[in-house]
Amino acid sequence: MASQFSEYITSMTLFFSIPSSTGKTRLKIEKPITSDGVMLRHKTTAWTSGDTKDTGTLITTITDDSTYKGANQWYEVSGLTDGTAYYFKAFPYKGSTYNEVIGVNETLCKAGGLLGEYTFDNISGTTVYDTAGSANGTSNNLSVAAGVVGNEGVFNGTNSKVLFSPSFSLTDLKTMSCILDIPATTADQTVMVVKPSGDANYNALHFSLLNGGYGLTNALRVGVSPASGQSKVGHVALSSISGDDRVVVFNFPTMAGTTFDMNLYVNNVSQTLTQDSSTALSTNPSGLASILGAYYNGTTAYRIFRSGNLDQVRFWNRKLESYERDNLYNGGAGC
């Protein structure tokens, strides 16, 4: 049995990972666990051929009768140091052939960084739960359907929206990621407008698909604006990024100032953003919430609605590493 189990572990892809909220990360177990179970261990340096089953720190033991026995299940690891890179590995729990799996089933992830998360899998009535914090959203005319990862939000283009009030500040926000369908041609539609706490009137993050708006033709437009005179806005043609279930990662190392230092990745391919000649982002009335799937025009009149899906919306306090973007795209929590 030990030999069969060892061969099973060696041949299977066990992990995908993403950083989670403070002091945590998540590991996705992609294959069912057999009756022998596995041990999950981690180190802060890469595993080597000389390491044994007793090397590193034991996280937990997972058996076939545990919560995580099925394929495509997630396990959250806590007690980690934010920003530190950890290397995770699985070992057979029983038997003596541990060294047969040394050097395989390793995944790398940094801990922490997730500020807010809306996956559309945790909805009760009109409440869309923030599964990384406490900034739950309130939906209007939203439906859900099976998506790439669990359920996705479906916005009808007429009156669907989710309102939420993030608890993070302007200085915290560095990256947004999500999954959505991107058409080759479009009517003007808003994907999200984010107004973190401490922001008086400005759309700190604005993400939309435009055809006519701001003089753009069939373009994805992203921008940040923490204060008057500090807008940074760019766009990319939809024709170069269109398709179903696109994983979008938008990073802005510094929100303040006017230096054009934004990065956009679609399915983990870096996109060249053209800086808008008109960089103004419209202001929000003070006190109004952030919105997924709509925009407002200086009052509480919502308009420019999203038509299509939106899923796995996340906000981060740091730039994601390339392997973290890989995980979001290749079977991680994002896709």
Mean pLDDT per segment of 10 residues, for the chain of length 335 residues?
36 68 83 68 87 82 58 79 89 59 72 93 95 92 92 96 89 92 95 79 83 93 80 93 94 83 93 82 66 80 92 93 86 48
- Structural domain range at position 72: 2-110
Query: Of 119, 27, 72, 22, which Cα lies nearest the Cα of 314?
Result: 119
- Give me the number of domains the chain comprises: 2
51 and 105 inside one domain: yes
In a domain, 190, yes or no: yes
Question: For residues 157 and 151, what is the distance between their CA atoms, to the nearest angstrom?
Answer: 19
Q: Which of 65, 89, 110 is the C-terminal boundary of a domain?
A: 110
Do residues 132 and 56 both lie within one domain? no
Give the model's pLDDT for residue 171.
81
300 and 225 in a common domain: yes
121 shares its domain with 55: no
Spatial distance between the Cα atoms of 81 and 52, rounded to a whole number of angstroms: 24
Instruction: Please count the other Cβ atoms lying within 10 Å of the Cβ belonging to residue 110.
Output: 21
293 is a domain residue: yes
Q: Is residue 6 part of a domain?
A: yes
Q: What is the CATH number of the domain that holds 223?
A: 2.60.120.200
Residue 174 CA to residue 304 CA, distance in Å, equals 25
Rounded Cα distance between 195 and 163, Å, is 11
Q: What is the dihedral of CA 177, 182, 186, 190, to 10 degrees?
A: -20
Q: Are 142 and 192 found together in one domain? A: yes
Specify whether 102 is located in the same domain as 140.
Answer: no
Tokens representing residue 295 in the block: 């925009």
In this predicted structure, what is the pLDDT of residue 281? Answer: 67
Q: Exposed, middle or buried by CB within 10 Å (0-12, 13-18, 19+), for 228?
A: exposed
Of 110, 139, 168, which residue constitutes the final position of a domain? 110
Q: Which of 93, 110, 127 is the last residue of a domain?
A: 110
The answer to whether residues 266 and 127 belong to one domain is yes
Q: Are residues 75 and 123 in the same domain?
A: no
Based on the domain organization, do 142 and 102 belong to the same domain? no
Q: Answer whether residue 166 is part of any domain.
A: yes
* 96 and 67, same domain (yes or no): yes
Are both 97 and 126 inside the same structural domain? no
**Do residues 249 and 296 both lie within one domain?**
yes
- What is the CA angle 314-291-133, rounded to 5? 40
CATH number of the domain bearing residue 82: 2.60.40.10
Is residue 258 in a domain?
yes
Measured torsion, CA atoms of residues 171, 204, 317, 145, in degrees rounded to the nearest 10: 160
Residue 229 located in a structural domain: yes
335 falls within a domain: no
Tell me how crowded residue 272 is: count the other CB atoms within 10 A of its CB.
9
| Domain-embedded: residue 260 | yes
> What does pTM read for this prediction?
0.87
